[in-house]
Structure formats: structure tokens, C-alpha cells
Amino acid sequence: MKKITALALIAITLTACKKETKTVTRVDPKTGKTETVTVEVTPEEAAKPKAISDSSGIYKQKFILEKGQTYPLVSYQREIQTLTSPDGKTMSGTNETTDEMSVTVNDFKDNIYDLTLNMVGKRMSSTANGKTVSIDTKQAAPKEEALKMDYLVSKGLAGNKLAVKMDASGDIKSVTGFDAVYNNLRKAIAGTVKDKKQQDAIIESFKAGFNEAMMKEQLGKNLKLIPAKGVKLGDKWTESEDIVPGKLKQTQTFTLTKVENGKAEIAVSGTIPSKSDKQSKNGMTHSMSMSGSQSGKIIIDENTGWVLNQNLSVKTNQKESLSDGKQTQSMSKNSTTSIVINPSYK
């Protein structure tokens, strides 16, 4: 790597018109939109250490973020479901969710980044039987009564900020500022939910899925993508997590496929092993089975260590049956889910 860098610097010196460039994904401060641009860098900057660097062929990830810069962290999920009922009829539907977030670098001191997680907005839509309903925190409230509470909750979150402390290796040390978020959420629903006990119940339910432990875990998964010990090109590593606690696990395999042109790429594959469950009660037997697979890739900026793009596809198949010993009714559900980080990346 050092020899290659040295040769690149000699080439720049000999050919004045040849400029070193890098690709940067950032949030435009004027429009608030994510953009990917190619910018020139000086020979001095080109010679600086990279966030994805190798030593004796072993690549490690750290973060080299610019103070004052805002980095995109937009998540998009689309699920397409097809249901087959006991009478053989099929129904399909599509659900889409976009959580628009970004991260601003306030400071870097004593190996710790002081970051602000900006919760910009949220969009959700559902399509079935030729009809689409949606909510968008940047638009007016939906007319459908069934969607108004989801809109109020999402609207109450939009515009909030959380304070994040992260070290240069990507370990999330703390996430704070939740009380302000909970208070803003209460204000957002107060006009519709008058009873304080009902407000308390909504807030407590929300806290169960939106708290420091959850955010630390989620940010860690989205940002720290290469094992701390480092990996060689072609190396594989695995991670497992519960889908149904104690019953069903998903195993993901990651492979560092290449580091070139300012990017590191990781291939992702995974399986949800076939799992069956059967329970009998009052002469009725309920059976269920599920299996699935996952594939995709992750692209990391070699210079900053920031995730440029993640694009994963998860396919699952679920079958259920109910039998009294004489007759059996069966139904199935197939789904394909796309999980994308920074969908505007090209």
C-alpha cells in the first residue's frame, strides 16, 4: 500500500494536469438532500491515512470524519407479501418505510467523536387491492382516521436530535437526549389523546422500542461493519440474531470482496434455517414452518469509514395448517424484503 501511494504521488508530480479525486457522499446543507459527488484532493490529502487500511494484507475499519460535515444515514425498507388462503386465493401487498436521518460531526477529541443524530423525517406507505395509503411527515396529515395516530407519532419524532459519542473504531459509547424526544412526542399526541393515562401508555410503549440500548445496537450494526481484529480479502465472518427468541435464529455470513477505487465492498449471504412447530389442543393440531434466505452487499467509504450503501434482500416462506384429523386447512405467506441504507447512493 505504501509503495502504491508513493508511485501515485510521483505520477502527480510529473503530470501536473492529472488530479487525484475521491467520491464523497454527503448531505447538501442547502437542500437537505443526500448527494454523491467527485471532488479533487491535494497530494497531501491523498497521502493521508485511510479509514479502511491494511497492514500485511489485513484490513481494519476506523472512522476519519470531518468536523462540521453531515453524513447521510437514511434507511429504506420495502416488503412485498403474497398470501395464499385455505381456499387457494392469493392476495398481495407492499409496505414501504423510509426513515430519513443524518449524522453531524461536532467535534473529535481524545479519540471520541461528538456527533448529533438528526431525525429528519419519516415516510410510510401500504398498497393492497390496488389502493395505496401513506403518511409523510413533510406533508399534511392523512385523511384516513386509521393513519392519524401513526402520523402524529412520526411527526412528533421528526426534527428531534440525539447526542452520540462514538470512538474512532466505531464503538458507540452513549446516546442521550431521549427525554426531549419523549416530551415532544407527548406534545404531538396531546391534541388527539386527551387522557393522560392513555398518553402515558403510548409513551411507555414507545420507550420499549426506542431507547439508548436499542439505538446503540442499531447504530453499531449500521456503522461498525468490519470485525475489530481485521480481515483479509476473501475472509468470511458470521453473525447470528434471534428472529423468534429462543426458537428461530438468522445467521449472516459476510465476505470482504474488494477494497479499491476508494471503496470497500462486503458481500452478505444468510439463511433462516427451516423450522417447524406443531401444537395440539382440544382435538385441533396447529402446524407452522418457516425458512428463508438473504443476500446483498455493503459499500464503505475507504477514506472516512462511513457506510455509503447497504442493499440486502431477505426472502421468507411461511406455511401454516390447522387440522381436526379429518380435514386440514392450509395457508402460506411468501415475502421479499429489501433493506437499504442510503438508497440515493449511485
pLDDT score recorded for residue 282: 85
Model confidence at 128, pLDDT cuts 50, 70, 90, reads: very high
Q: pLDDT digit string (tens) for 27-58?
A: 555 565 555 666 666 666 566 789 998 888 99
pLDDT score recorded for residue 33: 59
Q: Assess contact for 152 and 190: CB atoms under 8 A.
A: no
Model confidence at 19, pLDDT cuts 50, 70, 90, reads: low
Q: pLDDT digit string (tens) for 279-289?
A: 888 888 888 88
pLDDT score recorded for residue 10: 38
Mean of pLDDT values over 152-161: 92
Model confidence at 242, pLDDT cuts 50, 70, 90, reads: confident
Q: pLDDT digit string (tens) for 250-277?
A: 889 999 999 999 999 999 999 888 877 8
| 263 three-state secondary structure | strand
pLDDT score recorded for residue 8: 43
Q: How many Cβ atoms sit within 10 Å of the Cβ of residue 136? A: 18
pLDDT score recorded for residue 28: 59
Give 63's strand partners: none
How wide is the angle at C-alpha 177 spanned by C-alphas 176 and 178, nearest 5°?
Answer: 100
Q: Is the pLDDT of residue 130 over 70?
A: yes
Report the predicted TM-score, pTM, of the whole model to 2 decimal places.
Answer: 0.82
Q: pLDDT digit string (tens) for 182-196?
A: 999 999 999 888 999
Model confidence at 4, pLDDT cuts 50, 70, 90, reads: very low
pLDDT score recorded for residue 22: 57
Q: How many Cβ atoms sit within 10 Å of the Cβ of residue 158? A: 17
Q: Assess contact for 265 and 257: CB atoms under 8 A.
A: yes
Q: pLDDT digit string (tens) for 71-122?
A: 999 999 999 999 998 888 999 999 999 999 999 999 999 999 999 999 999 9
Of residues 329 and 13, more confidence is placed in 329
Question: Using CA atoms in the order 173, 176, 178, 184, what is the torsion angle rounded to 10 degrees?
Answer: -140
Q: Assess contact for 330 and 323: CB atoms under 8 A.
A: no
Q: Amino acid identity, residue 234?
A: G
Strands 34-41 and 20-27: antiparallel
Q: Mean pLDDT over all residues of the chain? A: 87
Q: Reduced to 3 DSSP states, what percent helix, strand and coil does the chain have, rounded to the nearest 5?
A: 20, 55, 25
In which element (H, E) is residue 220 found? helix 212-223
